[in-house]
Amino acid sequence: MNKEAANTKRIPFFKMSGSGNDFILIDNRRQDFEDSQLSRFIVNVCRRKLSAGADGLILIESSTMADFKWRFYNSDASRADMCGNGARCAARYAFVNGIAGPELTFETDVGIVSASIVADRVKVGMTDPSEVTPNIMLDLVAGSRQMAAINTGVPHVVLEVPDLETTDVCGIGREIRYHQRFAPAGSNVNFITSLAEDTIAVRTYERGVENETLACGTGSIAAALVKAARHGTGSPIHVKTRGGTLLTIHFTRRGGRFRDVYLEGDARIIYSGEMWPEAWA
């Protein structure tokens, strides 16, 4: 090994995909990252084509209350309280790396989350949804639109549309995301259409990524629960993501409130490696 390579600090990482939502995962149990440098690092390594590229970055850290805890960041370095697809990837990462067993718990910004792992499929117990508003009329540039709002760990808006393929996901999604009705934090925006009684398709504009993503776990939960609330659909509900995979949403409904919400789907390991300083320069 030459002198330059020997003296270069490299960071081990996994690249994982939860139904098309991709993440960089790093073991930070030794607290190697200085918070003052973290935002720049995240933005740079999440750049596509110029670095590893991802929708978000997950730090796996030590916990005194669970098997581990995480810090989840969107690609713009904003902190997110919860990410369903990221949670499934974090759980499988911990299992594969001997941090936890196949039945595990971990700390998030919304509390302790449980997960179970079978092969590449992970089922995560999510927090109970809140701030459920089934019907909102919002004035947009193209006219008034009816939608629903729900918080599934992070805020989501859900619109039912007749044709997902012709829907301007980024244009309408961006307008709603920054609408004063949801200020100052803004909202993720999901567009859904029914494929069968228990199956819907969804496209999502994600806050923090500021673009459409191939999948969004909390968005898929929001979409499924809005369908259940509006049409009386029972559990489970299957959600076809833009990436083409199916997520399964399990839930119970008691007294008009949703409880015992679980998100189930694949959490794939794409590759593992080491990032050189050029990745975040």
How far apart, in whole angstroms, are the C-alpha atoms of residue 189 and residue 181? Answer: 13
Residue from 213, 211, 260, 256 nearest 235 by CA: 260
**In the annotation, is 83 catalytic?**
yes
Residue 126 near residue 150, CB atoms below 8 Å: no
3-state SS class at 142: coil
Catalytic residue among 46, 89, 170, 216: 216
Q: Of residues 46, 83, 89, 170, which has the active-site annotation?
A: 83
170 among known catalytic residues = no
Please classify residue 170 by burial: count the beta carbons closer than 10 Å to its beta carbon, then call 0-12 exposed, 13-18 middle and 19+ buried. Answer: middle
Task: Tell me how many helices (H) and strands (E) the chain has.
Answer: 5, 17
DSSP string, 116-137: EEETTEEEEEPPPPEEEEEEEE
Catalytically annotated residues: 83, 216
